[in-house]
Amino acid sequence: MSSSQTDNVRNIGIMAHIDAGKTTTTERILFYSGRVHRLGDVDHGTAAMDWMPQEKERGITIQSAATTCLWNSHQINIIDTPGHVDFTAEVERSLRVLDGAVAVFCAVGGVEPQSETVWHQADKYNVPRIAFVNKMDRQGADYPHVIDMMRDMLGAKPLSVILPIGNGSSFCGIIDVIGGHALYFDETSHGSKFTHEDIPEENLDDYNAAKDILWESTAMLDESAMDDYCKGTLSPERVTQLLRKGTIEGTFVPVLCGAALKNIGIQQLMDAIVDWLPAPSELPPIPAHRKDGSSVNVRRSTDESFSALVFKVQCDPHLGRLAFMRVYSGSIADGQHVLNNTTGRKDRLTRLVRMHANKRTHLDRVAAGDIAAAGLKDVATGDTLTFPDMPLILESIEFPDPVIQMAIEPMSTSDDKALNDALESLATEDPSFRVGIDEESGQTLIKGMGELHLEIIASRIQREKGVKVRTGKPQVSYRESISSSASGSGEFRRSIQGRGHFGNAVLRVEPADSGIEFVNLLKDKEFPDHFTEAVERGIMGSVGAGPLAGYPVDGIRVELQEAALHETDSSETGYAYAGAMALRECLRNGKPVLKEPVMRLDIICPSDYVGEVIGDVNARRGSVLNMEPMGEVQSIKARVPLAELFGYSSALRSLTQGRAGFSMQFHDYARIAENITRRLLEQMGITSIK
């Protein structure tokens, strides 16, 4: 792909809260571009992008799905991402490799919890965005309120480039603020045809206000444009150019609106993707580092040597293990050899394909700007691929730790190996899914981001791998910390294989909000750095199991205050052991406590049932953070421990006669009250500190 060709490429993601209409929007994009020839429907399980059986049954996106279409002579590579909090990792890895994103908001719900999460994930990777306010045809749709929520809750600067004509049942068309006309869509052609008409008189005030803001905001990006604006001669074409500049720089976010299910406003969204989101060549170079640790910036050009990042691994039943990769520089042909810079192994690129959900098209070559998949034997998410003679490592992808676990076992003992193989395969695909063994019972534990996540994993094992399984009750993944500062020392003296090993360390540990922080406070500047690093390694190697119940340690600051040397036997092994011993003593002396995952709960509830819902939240050790009226319903935001939310969906339906809905996302780890900690430890059969 030449540089001129990459200018006509857009790599974008569709991101939103669950049920905002991402997949329906993607289906309309594919239909109007001619990529598919019939409209898919999420509710009827006919959406092309929701190809998994579990997605068709539940009407939600579980795995990110890639596809490609053409619009106005531009190639648009699209990744449709999940909106459920349990599958946030899918959004994380997609945004890492995308050049732009379309944030879809429900016109009724506005900025919902997962909307915030994915928005801040996009902030993390500096992804330029446009916004699409969907479902303007729903009762309670409020376009101005969504704009205000974007400004107040996301810190964005939204610029309306499309306005609705009516809302709810009266929604019938849209206003193009730049073009200065109204658009009405023909239902008989599924919205493929639309007409340009004069703006209705009752909408002129809103149009003029939006135009003034749009013209002024874009003019501020350029001195000559500001002169034209002051003279009243700033043209719509110049505004469009400046909108592109401001969007790519992140100065503002163009906002469009419509109703994907009613086929209104999608073509204008496709125009916006082409007009305002960046081509790969317009973005800054990718930071990377060589094996020697030196930094290098990789230009997004076909003139550079080949480099690509593996952002997803999928076990295809026909093609075997497929590695989804974003090519950042250079080009490569099917059959060429690559170096996996993470493992140091060489592999041959085979079965090079472009994906359309679970379908594929063979490719002879891929180049900078492409998103494709290839058969590779030994790869994982976050691996960097280059030619063997040009090794370098691109920035990888970080994923959150699981917050919930449950036991799993095969129905038949003869399926033990098949289950282990299935779990290994799924863990390769999903970096937020982990597998472990309970040391006391010997049971296999699967760990994930929520009940639904683990439920889908169990379903896939049975459907895709053909292994019938039993699962236990989901359990919370707790953390351990300390409630007061404490000191401890460790000294290691031992002869190993005829050589003496010595290490000595005195530590002080203090409570912290989260994470593990190591600070070197040694006054002896002559103490060797490699021994200090060994103490740190010993500490970090010991935080996997705390003194109370063996859960990982979180939220401590560790200070190395003293360390002694031996004339002949000081060794890195000795100091690593000494650091571990000192840390264990500190944790025992620091009044250890349990911490539990706390979820942010967002409930939409009819006003008649608010009292019952709040009472139930309080009974679950939760606290209400905020209440806000939204028409005839109330929006309730609360913090509730995850341990109290198992089965909450059924309980909420029962309380409100099925009229309330909720979503939740991980908020933080919080210390558990002493009486509840004692009860939990008793249930685990623990009576003393380990």
Contact 593, 482 (CB under 8 A): yes
What is the predicted pLDDT for the residue at 174? Answer: 96
The distance of Cα 486 from the centroid of its chain, to the nearest Å, equals 37
Confidence of residue 322 (pLDDT cuts 50, 70, 90): confident
**pLDDT at residue 54 greater than cutoff 60:** no
Q: What is the DSSP string of 578-600?
A: HHHHHHHHHHHHT-EEEEEEEEE
Report which listed range, 128-142, 351-365, 440-454, 594-608, is most confident.
128-142
Q: What is the band of 58 on the pLDDT scale with cuts at 50, 70, 90?
A: low
Which pLDDT belongs to residue 411? 86
Share of the chain above pLDDT 70, in %: 93
% of the chain at pLDDT higher than 90? 45
Residue of higher predicted confidence among 323 and 84 = 323
pLDDT band at 485 (very low <50, low <70, confident <90, very high): very high
Strands (E), 284-392: 286-289, 295-298, 307-316, 320-329, 331-333, 337-340, 345-348, 350-356, 359-362, 365-367, 371-375, 384-386
pLDDT score of 49? 53
Query: Where is 78: in which H helix or E strand?
Result: strand 74-80
Taking the C-alpha atoms of residue 618 and residue 611, their distance in angstroms, rounded to an integer, is: 11
Q: Looking at the predicted structure, is the pLDDT value of residue 165 above 90?
A: yes
Element housing 612 (H / E): helix 610-619
Question: How far apart, in whole angstroms, are the C-alpha atoms of residue 422 and residue 457?
Answer: 10
pLDDT of residue 36: 80
Angstrom CA distances, 4 to 9, 149, 281, 330, 673, stand at 10, 39, 9, 14, 62
pLDDT of residue 1: 45
Residue appearing with tokens 């609106």: 257
Residue 42 in this model has a pLDDT that exceeds 60: no
Distance CA 288, CA 342 (A): 13
Encode pLDDT of 327-349 as tens digits. Answer: 999 999 999 999 999 888 999 98
How does strand 475-476 pair with strand 173-176?
Answer: unpaired
Residue with the bigger pLDDT between 27 and 41: it is 27
Cα distance between the two ends of the chain: 61
- pLDDT at position 663: 74
Candidate ranges 435-439, 657-661, 668-672; pick with highest mean pLDDT: 668-672
The mean per-residue pLDDT over the stretch 191-215 comes to 94
The pLDDT score that the predictor gives to residue 146 is 95
The amino acid present at 127, given as its one-letter code, is V
Average pLDDT in the 42-62 region?
54
Q: Which residues pair with 557 in a beta bridge?
A: 510, 517
3-class DSSP string for 445-476: EEEECCHHHHHHHHHHHHHCCCCCEEECCCEE
Residue 53's pLDDT band, with cuts at 50, 70 and 90, is: low
> What is the average per-residue pLDDT within 586-594?
94
pLDDT bracket for residue 83 (50, 70, 90): low
Using the predicted structure, report yes or no on whether residue 89 has a pLDDT greater than 90: no
- Give the pLDDT mean for 351-364: 80
pLDDT tens per residue, range 121-132: 888 889 999 999
Compute the C-alpha angle 391/397/399, nearest 5°: 150
Give the DSSP H/E element, type plus range, for residue 638.
strand 633-641
Half-sphere exposure of 19 (CA within 13 A, CB side): 11
> Helix 529-540 crosses helix 572-589 at what angle (to 10 degrees)?
50
Assess contact for 600 and 639: CB atoms under 8 A. yes
Using CA atoms, how far residue 195 sits from 161, 166, 168, 184, 185, in Å, is 18, 17, 21, 5, 7
What is the model's pLDDT at position 67? Answer: 84
Return left, alpha or beta for 601; rule: phi > 0 is left, psi -120 to 50 is alpha, else beta.
beta
Q: Could you tell me which of 353, 358, 347, 352 has the C-alpha nearest to residue 316?
A: 358
User: Is residue 629 very low, low, confident or very high in pLDDT (cuts 50, 70, 90)?
Assistant: confident
Residues contacting 362, CB < 8 A, separation 6+: 334, 351, 352, 353
What does the pLDDT read at residue 50? 53
Banded pLDDT at 228 (limits 50, 70, 90): very high
Strand-pairing partners, residue 298, are 286
Residue reference for tokens 């107040």: 152
Check residue 689 and give its pLDDT. 65
- CA separation for the pair 516, 529 (Å, rounded): 20
Q: Say if residue 85 is exposed, middle or buried (CB neighbours under 10 Å; 0-12, 13-18, 19+).
A: buried
Residue 46: the pLDDT is 55
pLDDT at 240 over 60: yes
User: What's the pLDDT band for 84 if we cut at 50, 70, 90?
Assistant: low
pLDDT, mean of residues 645-666? 80
Alpha-carbon span 586 to 508, nearest angstrom? 7
Q: What is the mean pLDDT of residues 662-681?
A: 86
**How far apart (Å, rounded) are the C-alpha atoms in residues 112 and 19?**
10
Mean pLDDT of 356-369: 82
Report CA-CA distances (Å) from 311 to 99, 215, 282, 330, 350: 14, 39, 21, 18, 17
Contact call for residues 352 and 363 (beta carbons, < 8 A): yes
Nearest to residue 373, comparing CAs of 386, 359, 388?
Answer: 359
- In tens, the pLDDT along 497-536 reads 888 999 999 999 999 988 899 999 988 778 899 999 999 9
What backbone torsions phi and psi does residue 39 show, to the nearest 5 degrees?
-75, 125
Residue 163 has pLDDT above 70, yes or no: yes
Predicted confidence at residue 94, as pLDDT, reads 84
More confident residue, 323 or 114: 323
How many CB atoms are closer than 10 A to CB 432? 22
pLDDT band at 437 (very low <50, low <70, confident <90, very high): confident
d(CA 140, CA 652): 22
pLDDT at 382: 87
Residue 488 has pLDDT above 90, yes or no: yes
Question: Nearest to residue 163, comparing CAs of 180, 149, 138, 186?
Answer: 180
- What's the number of CA atoms in the CB half-sphere (13 Å) around residue 448? 24
pLDDT of residue 487: 95
Tell me the per-residue pLDDT of 398-416, one tens digit each, with 9 for 90 and over.
887 787 888 898 888 888 8
pLDDT for the residue numbered 4? 44
